[in-house]
Amino acid sequence: MNNPKPTPKLPNKKDGDSKTPKQPTFKRSNIWAWGAIAVITAVLLFGSNQFLPEQKTTSLKYSGSENSFISKVQNDQVASAIYEPTSGNISGKLTEEFKGTKLFRTDGPLNNLPERELKLFEKHNVTFSYKKAQSNFFLNFLPFLLPILLLVGVFTYLSRRAQGQMGSVMNIGRSKAKIYSTENPQTTFEDVAGYSAVKQEISEVVDFLKNPAKFRDIGARIPRGVLLVGPPGTGKTLIARAVAGEAGVPFISVTGSDFMEMFVGVGASRVRDLFATAKKSAPAIIFIDEIDSIGRKRGAGMGGGHDEREQTLNQMLSEMDGFEPTEGIVMMAATNRPDILDSALLRPGRFDRQIVVPLPTQEERAQILKVHFEGKKILPEVSLETLSRATPGMSGAELSNLVNEAALHAVRRGKSSIEKQDFNTAIDRVLMGLRRPSIMMNDHEKKLTAYHEGGHAILAYLCKNADPVHKVTILPTGMALGMTQQLPLEERHSYNRNYLEDQLMVLLGGRGAERVVFDNVSTGAHNDLVRATEIAHSMVKEWGMSDTVGPMAWGDSNMVFLGDDMMQSKAYSDDTARTLDVEAQGILVKAESRVTKILNEFAKGLEAIGNELVEKEEISGEDVARLVDEAMGRECANSVSAIDITV
C-alpha cells in the first residue's frame, strides 16, 4: 500500500517559506562595532613611538671592550647620544658607518651618568642630551579597558539572546504546517496499489479542485471535509498525498500534535494562521494527520475537559464552517479512532464525508506486494498469490516490512536473490516472533510441547469448518514454545456459529491432548484459553449465539474515553451477568468434552504427529494429513464437526 519511492518535500516558495540558504548579511550595528574595534587597535598599537617602524640599529656594550660605547666615544666615533634616565637607554649616531649602520643603542646606568663620562662626552665633541620618558594614555588605560570591554560583550550577548527568545515567543502562534507546491507531491492514484473503491469515492474531491465551475453551475456543493478512517498502516496519508498530486494544488500538511503547546491559546492561534495560509494558496488541501489528538470529545472525563485542546477544536470548527465561509479549501484528516471524535466535527458542513480505508483484501495484498517487489531480486518461485493468501489481516505497512525482512534474511544467508524460504522465514518472524535457539527444552518438555501442538493440528485437520494447517513447529518462537499456523483458503468477513465452535475445539485441542496423553495439564494453554474465552463471551453477549440468552446483545463495544460513561450503570442486572458468565462457561466446557472425545477416537493419529514433531521439530500441513491418514488407515480430512458431536 505504501509507495516505496520517496518523494522529496519542497517548500512553497510563493508563501515565503523557502529553506534555500541565504547569503549572510551584515547589520549596520555590526559594521560600526568592527570599525570601532579597528580604530582602538590602531591607537593602541601606534599611539606609542616604540611601535613605530625604526631604522636598523647596532647594539653595543656600554663598556669593557674595544667595540663598546665608551671606547667609541674615546676614539671620536660617536656623533651624538640621547640618554633616558628612567630606563638607562642610550641611543644615537656614529660618525662612521659601523657594519652598514649609523645608529646605535646601548644600556647604560639608571637614573644618571657618572660625572667623568659627561666630561668625556664634552671632551670628544659628542652632542649629548637627555630624553624624558613619554607615557601613552591608551597603554596606561589598557588594564582598565579590557574588563570594561568584557562586561560590554557579556551584556550585548545577553541582550541579543533575550531578543531572540522574545522573537520566538512572538512567533509561537504561527502554524507549523509544511506547504508543498503544485509540483510536489508527485504521488498519484497510480502509486496507490489496490483500494479502487476508496479512490473512486475520493475522486470527486479531485474533480472539484480541478473544475470547480462545473459544480457551481449545477448548484452542487462539494464536501468541505473528508475524514479517512482505518487501522494504522493502511495508507491514509499516502491517499491524501495522491489526492493533492492528482488535483495539482498546494498541499498543506500538519499533525494534530503540532497545535498543542504549553501556552494557552497557542493552538487556536496556529489554526487561524493555518487557514490564513491556505486562503492565500486557494484552491488548496489542508491535511491533518492524527486529528483525534485535538478533535476529541469536549467535556469528556470526570474532571472536565482539556481547556487548551477544546479551544483549539472550537477555533477549527469555526474556521471550517463558521460565520465567514471558506472557499476553495478542502480539509482532509486521518484517524484510526473515529469513535472518540467530537460530534460537531463530524456534522455536515465540516467532516461530512467519512471514507473507510480498511485492511487490504487478498487481491489488494497481491497488488501491494507487487509494488514492493519492484527493485528487488526475487526468484520466480515466489508466488504473489500464495504470499497474499499467507498474509491475512496485514496492512500495507506490514507487507512492506515483510518484504524487507525477507530481503534481510536472504542477505544473512549470503544469497544474491530472495527465495521462497526467505519469505516463509519472514512470515514466521512477523506473525510469531523471533526464533529463540537459546532455549533448550528437556525431553519431557519437548514431548509435552509436541503433543500439545499435535492436538491443535489434528483438530484443525479433522474439523470441517476450521482453517487448514500450514505448519506446526515446536521450536521456541517469540513468547511460545511451539506454534500451529493455520491459513484460510479464502478471506472471511463474517463467522457463523459452526466455524466459531470448531475454532474453539482447535484452540482447546492442545490442552485436551495433554489430558488424554499425560492425564495432566500445563501452563502452555494460557494463550489458548484467553482467546477461547473471548470468543465464547462474544458469542453469548454480542452475537446472540446462546439459546438461553436469546437474540440479545449485552456487550458494549464503545471504549471508555477519559472517564466518559464511567459513572453510568450497567445495561443489565447482576443476575443477567451471572447468566452470561454461566452460558459462556458452558460453551467452553462442551467444546472441551468434544475435544476429549475426538482425541480418544483418533489417538493413533495424535501419537503419529507427536512422535514426528519430537523427531523433526517442524512439519507442514501436508505432513499432518499424511500422518493421520496412515495411522487411521483411511482419509480423515474434515470428517468431524462440533455440530455433529454429541456429548
The yes/no answer on whether domain 49-130 falls in CATH 3.40.50.2000 is no
Q: Residue 41: its pLDDT value, please?
A: 65
Contact 7, 184 (CB under 8 A): yes
Cα distance between residue 86 and residue 111, in whole Å: 6
> What separation in angstroms does the CA of 211 have from each of 200, 222, 350, 523?
17, 11, 21, 65
What's the CA gap between 553 and 537, in Å, rounded? 11
DSSP β-bridge partners for residue 287: 253, 332
What pLDDT, on a 0 to 100 scale, did the predictor assign at position 142? 67
pLDDT of residue 76: 81
% the chain with pLDDT above 70: 77
- Average pLDDT for 454-468: 92
Closest CA to 130 of 184, 172, 87: 87
Question: Is it true that the peptide bond before 185 is cis, omega within 30 degrees of 0?
Answer: yes
> What is the predicted pLDDT for the residue at 55?
60
Residue 515: pLDDT band by 50, 70, 90 thresholds?
A: very high
CATH 3.30.720.210 maps onto the chain at 49-130
The per-residue pLDDT for 20 is 40
161 or 365, which is more confident: 365
What's the CATH architecture for 178-356?
Answer: 3-Layer(aba) Sandwich (3.40)
| Confidence band of 311 (pLDDT split at 50, 70, 90) | confident
Q: Which tens digits make up the pLDDT trace of 7-30?
A: 444 344 444 443 344 444 444 555
pLDDT at residue 598 greater than cutoff 90? yes
Q: Residue 32 above 80 pLDDT?
A: no
pLDDT higher than 90, residue 585: yes
Q: Which residue has the higher pLDDT, 512 or 145?
A: 512
Q: In this predicted structure, which of 281-290, 303-312, 479-488 has the lowest mean pLDDT? A: 303-312
Please tell me whether the overall predicted TM-score, pTM, comes out greater than 0.85 for this model. Answer: no
Average pLDDT value for residue range 182-207: 73
> According to the model, what pLDDT value does residue 306 have?
56
Look up residue 573 and give its three cell numbers.
442486572
End-to-end CA distance of the chain: 48
- CA dist 103 and 80 (Å) reads 10
Q: What is the 8-class DSSP label of residue 135?
A: P
**Assigned C-alpha cell, 411:** 542477505
Mode of pairing for the β-strands spanning 353-356 and 178-180: unpaired
pLDDT digits (tens, 9 = 90+) for 412-450: 888 888 988 888 888 877 776 666 666 778 888 889 999
Most confident of 2-11, 288-297, 567-576: 288-297
Q: Which residues pair with 84 in a beta bridge?
A: 89
Predicted pLDDT of residue 163: 60
The yes-or-no verdict on residue 262 having pLDDT over 80 is no
Residue from 304, 332, 335, 375 nearest 177 by CA? 332
pLDDT surpassing 90 at residue 457:
yes
| Angle, in degrees to the nearest 10, between helices 603-616 and 574-601 | 80
- CA torsion, ordered 620, 623, 627, 630, to nearest 10 deg: 160
Q: Please tell us whether the domain made up of 362-431 is placed in CATH 3.40.50.2300.
A: no
Cell numbers describing residue 614? 519430537
320 in the Ramachandran plot: left (φ > 0), alpha (ψ -120 to 50) or beta? alpha
119-140: pLDDT as tens digits: 888 888 888 887 766 655 666 6
| Buried/exposed code over 293-312 (b: 16+ C-beta within 10 A; e: otherwise) | bbbbbbebeeeebbebbbbb
Q: Is 272 helix (H, G, I), strand (E, B) or coil?
A: helix
User: Phi, psi (5° rounding) for residue 130?
Assistant: -100, 150
d(CA 369, CA 237): 19
Q: Find residue 618's DSSP bridge partners.
A: 473
* pLDDT digit string, tens, across residues 355-411: 888 888 888 888 888 888 888 888 888 888 888 888 888 888 888 888 998 999 899
User: What SS3 string covers 36-93?
Assistant: HHHHHHHHHHHCCHHHCCCCCEEECCCCCCCCCHHHHHHCCCEEEEEEECCCCEEEEE
Sequence ranges of the chain with CATH classification 1.20.58.760: 443-644
Instruction: Report the range out of 58-72, 81-95, 313-327, 452-466 with the highest average pLDDT.
Output: 452-466
Residue 185 has pLDDT above 80, yes or no: no
Residues of the chain with CATH 1.10.8.60: 362-431
Higher pLDDT, 222 or 33: 222
- Report the distance separating Cα 206 and Cα 647, nearest Å: 61
Per-residue pLDDT at 563:
45
Q: Over the stretch 339-351, which tens digit does the pLDDT of each residue have?
A: 888 888 888 878 8
Res 286: pLDDT = 83
Cell numbers 464552517 label which residue?
Answer: 321
Top-confidence residue, 411 or 296 = 411
Return the DSSP state at 644: G
Kindly report the number of other CB atoms within 10 A of residue 75's CB atom.
12
pLDDT score at 11 = 40
Strands 618-620 and 469-473: antiparallel
Contacts (Cβ under 8 Å, ≥6 apart) of 349: 224, 320, 321
pLDDT digits (tens, 9 = 90+) for 527-583: 999 999 999 999 999 888 988 888 888 765 444 444 444 444 467 788 888 999 999
How confident is the model at residue 529, as a pLDDT?
Answer: 94
Average pLDDT over residues 317-339: 76
**Structure confidence at residue 628 (pLDDT):** 92
Across all residues in the chain, what is the average pLDDT? 77
pLDDT of residue 452: 94
Distance CA 564, CA 199 (A): 36
CATH classification code of 443-644 = 1.20.58.760
Residues assigned a catalytic role? 453
Mean pLDDT of 215-243: 81
Mean pLDDT of the 513-533 span: 92
What is the mean pLDDT of the segment spanning 460-480? 86
Cβ 95 vs Cβ 79: under 8 Å = yes
Does pLDDT of 204 surpass 80?
no
pLDDT score at 426: 86
